[in-house]
């Protein structure tokens, strides 16, 4: 069986590519001209150089493959247009290419995000029946990508997977949390307890592949996440124990987060890269709860969590230390 993977050079995509290789599949990866192949360069992969706004390169990429795992996306952008181009339009153009060049595709798996749906209430985690209510431009763009998938479901067998916050080896976003903890500080947003769903990248990859292989998952959507919900106090306690460090907790008012984000966003105007903390990210991290239910994924595709929080954090910390990200 031949599989196309998009986003294979990224955090989630590189782990997905490794696991599919270990499972014996023939792999093709859609990459950009200047893609950094560091995580997958030693794997036997067919590379197709392309662009999501070049229909002919997309048609070359999707031709004669059995399954497509679309994990590419834009999580940070200096402009609103960047999110919609990288998430919504890229997905639409890829699906257009499938419709034009691969009538026999067995499955298109779209990796979306909990952000497409929005935050939750503590006693009411979101599930697949929850209406869309995204609060960020990123979330809106992922919502539009999902809606695009639904438009193609009469012609293409599609499965949508929604992870919450993802952590694990190679991750650069949640790494900032561990890096700050390593320096002896844990910033906490607000003064209450914020609960979140998390997922270790290897559990997410397992869920993505289960969704792609299950006949029942055709034209369905699944949350792939942790069994439990965690608050940042207990995440911090566990992390400092595993780091063997004493950490000072600093509560930051939500209003201050937006001030800091605005300053950082202004500063990014003079940089080629978007700010690590901007107004969009501030909207995200100042929500009270980001929890989701995995009941449907457990019942329909047999998903289960392998990495409990302590195991997942330990695995991640060990990788950061081994690779020199943490001293």
Q: Quote the pLDDT of residue 275.
A: 79
Q: What local confidence, expressed as pLDDT, does residue 241 receive?
A: 95
**Structure confidence at residue 279 as a pLDDT band (50, 70, 90):** confident
- The domain spans of the chain are 2-167+198-227+291-306
What CA–CA distance (Å, rounded) separates 58 from 94?
6
Query: Residue 75: pLDDT band by 50, 70, 90 thresholds?
Result: very high
pLDDT of 280: 85
Lowest mean pLDDT across 89-98, 188-197, 200-209, 265-274: 265-274
Q: Rounded distance, CA 140 to CA 84, Å?
A: 8
Asked whether the predicted pLDDT for residue 269 surpasses 90, the reply is no
Task: Give the angle subtended at the CA of 64 by the CAs of 63 and 68, to the nearest 5°.
Answer: 75
The second-level CATH assignment, the architecture, of 2-167+198-227+291-306 is 3-Layer(aba) Sandwich (3.40)
The contacts of residue 183 (CB under 8 Å, 6+ apart) are: none
Average confidence (pLDDT) over 230-241: 94
Which residue's structure tokens are 């909990």? 114
pLDDT, tens digit (0-9, with 9 covering 90-100), for 289-307: 999 999 999 999 999 999 9
Residue 140's alpha-carbon distances to 146, 258, 261, in angstroms, are 10, 20, 20
Between CA 161 and CA 211 the distance in angstroms is 8
Stretch (H or E) spanning 180: helix 175-182
Question: Which pLDDT value is given to residue 47?
Answer: 97
Question: For 290, what's the count of Cα atoms within 13 Å in the CB-facing half-sphere?
Answer: 26
What are the pLDDT digits (tens) for 96-121? 999 999 999 999 999 999 999 999 98
pLDDT at 94 (0 to 100):
98
Confidence band of 261 (pLDDT split at 50, 70, 90): confident
Q: Which residue has the higher pLDDT, 300 or 282?
A: 300
Residues in the chain, total: 327
């Amino acid at each position: 069986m031949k599989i196309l993977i998009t986003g294979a050079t990224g955090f989630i995509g590189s782990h997905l590519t490794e696991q599919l290789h270990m499972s014996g599949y023939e792999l093709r990866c859609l990459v950009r001209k200047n893609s950094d192949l560091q995580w997958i360069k030693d794997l036997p992969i067919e590379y197709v150089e392309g662009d999501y706004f070049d229909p002919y390169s997309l048609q070359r990429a999707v031709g004669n493959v059995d399954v497509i795992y679309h994990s590419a996306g834009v999580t940070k952008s200096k402009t609103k247009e960047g999110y919609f181009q990288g998430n919504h339009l890229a997905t639409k153009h890829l699906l257009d290419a499938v419709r034009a060049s691969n009538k026999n595709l067995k499955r298109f798996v779209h990796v979306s995000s909990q952000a497409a749906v929005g935050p939750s209430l503590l006693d009411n985690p979101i599930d697949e029946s929850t209406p869309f209510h995204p609060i960020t431009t990123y979330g809106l763009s992922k919502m539009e990508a999902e809606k695009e998938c639904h438009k193609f479901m009469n012609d293409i067998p599609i499965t949508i997977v929604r992870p919450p916050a993802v952590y694990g080896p190679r991750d650069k976003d949640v790494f900032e949390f561990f890096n700050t903890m390593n320096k002896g500080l844990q910033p906490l947003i607000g003064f209450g307890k914020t609960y979140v769903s998390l997922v270790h990248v290897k559990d997410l990859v397992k869920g993505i592949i289960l969704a792609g292989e299950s006949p029942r998952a055709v034209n369905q959507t699944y949350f792939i996440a942790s069994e439990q919900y965690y608050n940042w106090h207990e995440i911090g306690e566990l992390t400092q124990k595993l780091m063997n460090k004493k950490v000072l907790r600093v509560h930051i008012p939500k209003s201050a987060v937006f001030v800091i984000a605005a300053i950082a966003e202004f500063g990014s105007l003079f940089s080629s890269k978007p700010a690590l903390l901007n107004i969009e990210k501030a909207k995200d991290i100042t929500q009270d709860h980001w929890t989701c239910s995995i009941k449907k994924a457990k019942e329909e595709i047999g998903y289960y969590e392998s990495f409990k929080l302590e195991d997942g954090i330990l695995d991640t910390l060990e990788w950061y230390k081994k690779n020199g990200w943490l001293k």
